[in-house]
A and B are shown apart, each in its own frame.
Chain A
Amino acid sequence: GAVVSQHPSRVICKSGTSVKIECRSLDFQATTMFWYRQFPKQSLMLMATSNEGSKATYEQGVEKDKFLINHASLTLSTLTVTSAHPEDSSFYICSARAAGPLGEQFFGPGTRLTVL
């Protein structure tokens, strides 16, 4: 299957700092990318949907000014957690949707964010 990478795989930061997470589709062009957050023993929660060259669509309850999403190309989307706080500590997962009739969705390996 297609490969989606995320960088970094884990990050520890101090409260108040900003953290950027990259999501890349390595061998295909993604029409749409999605960002999820997952807390321990819970399901994935969709945060936002982004399409290349346009503003992201955020799910209800997700602060767009805190979770900045940039989708600069068909293979790269970034999520920046601004002024991170301990409650933002979570597992962040991106996925990329391939073009084509079935539009398969492929997931990255996730980024573990710990805010001290």
Chain B
Amino acid sequence: LAKTTQPISMDSYEGQEVNITCSHNNIATNDYITWYQQFPSQGPRFIIQGYKTKVTNEVASLFIPADRKSSTLSLPRVSLSDTAVYYCLVGAAASGGSYIPTFGRGTSLIVHP
């Protein structure tokens, strides 16, 4: 069961790039890394998922080094509406392994004007 560690909080300003790193030293071979965003009193929202190297979509990029023991979520040019809690999860894809999606403490990002 891969455990994740993230900074508890981060502060940024509008227009800046924000990088949030998650450590998962015990990640298993068939584990994927998924990042979620959560606003108060709402369910988490999927941001991005990856296995290795770099993944990019319309809202974020995910960087995963070769040893996969950490991952970095990159949010380009944040705005006030990006103020939220960000969680990284590691777990097996449906094709193999058990999947117990356990959340860590998450990173509370505050974007200032």
Chain A interface residues toward B at CB < 8 A: 1, 4, 6, 31-32, 34, 36, 43-46, 49, 91, 93, 95, 97-110, 112
The yes or no answer to B104 lying at the interface (CB within 8 A) is yes
Determine the distance from Cα of A1 to Cα of B42 in the docked complex, in whole angstroms: 16
Q: List 28 A-B contacts (CB under 8 A).
A: A1-B46, A6-B43, A36-B103, A43-B87, A43-B104, A43-B106, A44-B44, A44-B87, A44-B103, A46-B102, A46-B103, A93-B44, A95-B43, A95-B101, A99-B94, A101-B93, A101-B94, A103-B93, A103-B94, A103-B95, A104-B49, A105-B46, A107-B36, A107-B44, A109-B42, A109-B43, A110-B41, A110-B43
The contact of B42 among A32, A106, A110, by CB within 8 Å, is A110
Contacts of B89 in A (CB 8 A): 105
Contacts of B49 in A (CB 8 A): 102, 104
Chain B interface residues toward A at CB < 8 A: 32, 34, 36, 41-46, 49, 87, 89, 93-95, 99-106
Q: How many A-B residue pairs have CB under 8 A?
A: 63
Distance to closest chain A CB from B45 (angstroms): 7
Contacts of A102 in B (CB 8 A): 32, 49, 93-94
Determine the distance from Cα of A105 to Cα of B103 in the docked complex, in whole angstroms: 13
Q: Is the interface of B mostly helix, strand, loop or mixed?
A: loop
Determine the distance from Cα of A99 to Cα of B103 in the docked complex, in whole angstroms: 21
Distance to closest chain B CB from A110 (angstroms): 5
Check if B43 sits within 8 Å of A32, measured CB to CB.
Answer: no
Contacts of A45 in B (CB 8 A): 103
Q: Which residue of B lies closest to A32 (CB)?
A: B99
